[in-house]
Amino acid sequence: MTTTAAIVAPILFGLALGAWASRAEVSPPASVAPAFVTDVPGIREEMLDPEYWIGRLRDDEIRMTAAEIGTFNAKNFARGEYLHDLDQFPQRLKRTRVLALLDTVSRPASTPRFHTDDSPLTPRDYAALEASTQRARIPAEVRVRWGMVVRRANMRSFPTQMRIYKNPQDTDLDRLQETGVFPGQRLALLHESADGNWWFAVNYHYAAWLPKSAVAVGDRDVIDRWSQREPRLLVTGAQVQTNFNPDDPRTSQVALDMGVSLPLLSAADVGYQVNGQNPYASYIVSLPARAADGSLEFVPTLIARSRDVHRGALAYRDSALLRQAFKFLGERYGWGHDYNGRDCTGFIGEVYKSFGILMPRNSGQQGRGGFAPTRFFGEGDEKRRRDALGSLQVGDLIYIPGHVMMYIGDVSGEPYVIHDVTGLRYYDSEKNFYSGTLSGVSVTPLKPLWLSRDKSFVDSIYAIKTIL
């Protein structure tokens, strides 16, 4: 070190140290997290962490093996109530059968409906919707075509994106919205809309209209082989995306919701470059895509290993159920999978799909169907209802009219649930009726909640189901 450098270095060090000390003297005090405040009764902040509930589990044994889940699904599909076994779906259907499926969704409402400008739907509006279905052109025998969903899309009551409401002020609930579909789901294609832009299709738990742009048409055998191919990568996060792909927009940042399952490929299959990226730090999956002519093809696509995904279905146990459910906590409520979200049964269905368990789409179908051991409660059954709440198991599904909740644990005799819910109603400590909003996936106690001033959640329970 030169003499000058030897002199300057300590000076610079001293200046730096002095500057640091000066900053330390004037730095603000450590920040304090704002107090947790909520209008939801009986909730503490730690209850919004799944580990709080996992720490309260008495045991965490496997509830069903993969083979037992396969048997469970097979029995429910065999009942034919609300699930469609596409493996056994006929290649031809009579016109009466297609019309029966169509009539479950494409029909005028029994009560008034309103446009987005608050004007009521008229007979002329319904006539136009009816004409769009061109049901008169359904032949005596329908030859089923086959397709696969290539992007998340909505299934609709009629082949239209028009939104209508039961109440002009309740614009969150589009009454033409039925459900969502996700990449990789198989479809039986039964009919086309008058404008040629929509399919009337059947998936494993629904029949409704969806845009052709979200569907690729293919050979049934090819689709079935892809659906059965192993090993598979399962999306276990609320939603993940495929890697950005500058070369093929069809596979770039594709949204994949919880429960989507895709065949895994390896570099031995596709080489050491996929869409300009080395695949070793990602999973390579076979992603369905739509060719320019609407036909189906499968494209090697990357999903980063850092994403919330898993090789195969998760082991079905209480801790995993809780962790999967809490991944949706705070997500905005989306009627029929609207708003890029889900509703109460969409939430439940996606959570259980993480374990390979498939359920009917709507709460009434789940609650009244025979897909699991069921306890029904009629009027005057208040004691049985409350007794049943004392023997709940984590993951039990609690059904009230139009809604389903998942039991997550008990605190001081109060059962708590996680559910995708819109309203918040209860009587406060001074017996005043409080009416607020949740509109999302929420953790709440069960007993304080009310459907209306005269009907509590507990008194509305008509079924409790344990998925075993």
73: helix, strand or coil: helix
**pLDDT by residue for the chain (468 residues), tens digit each?**
444 444 334 333 343 334 434 444 555 566 788 999 999 999 999 999 999 999 999 999 999 999 999 999 999 999 988 999 999 999 999 999 999 999 999 999 999 999 999 999 999 999 999 999 999 999 999 999 999 999 999 999 999 999 999 999 999 999 999 999 999 999 999 999 999 999 999 999 999 999 999 999 999 999 999 999 999 999 999 999 999 999 999 999 999 999 999 999 999 999 999 999 999 999 999 999 999 999 999 999 999 999 999 999 999 999 999 999 999 999 999 999 999 999 999 999 999 999 999 999 999 999 988 877 888 876 667 888 888 999 999 999 999 999 999 999 999 999 999 999 999 999 999 999 999 999 999 999 999 999 999 999 999 999 999 999
Residue with tokens 């029904």: 376
Residue whose C-alpha is closest to residue 337's, from 359, 319, 317, 362: 362
In this prediction the pTM is: 0.91
Q: Tell me the fold of 45-64+317-465.
A: endopeptidase fold (from Nostoc punctiforme) (3.90.1720)
DSSP structure string for 174-238: -TTEEEEE-TT-EEEEEEE-TTS-EEEEE-SS-EEEEEGGGEEEE-HHHHHHHHH-SSEEEE-SS
* Structural domain boundaries in the chain: 45-64+317-465, 83-220, 229-312
Domain spanning 229-312 has what CATH number?
Answer: 2.30.30.40
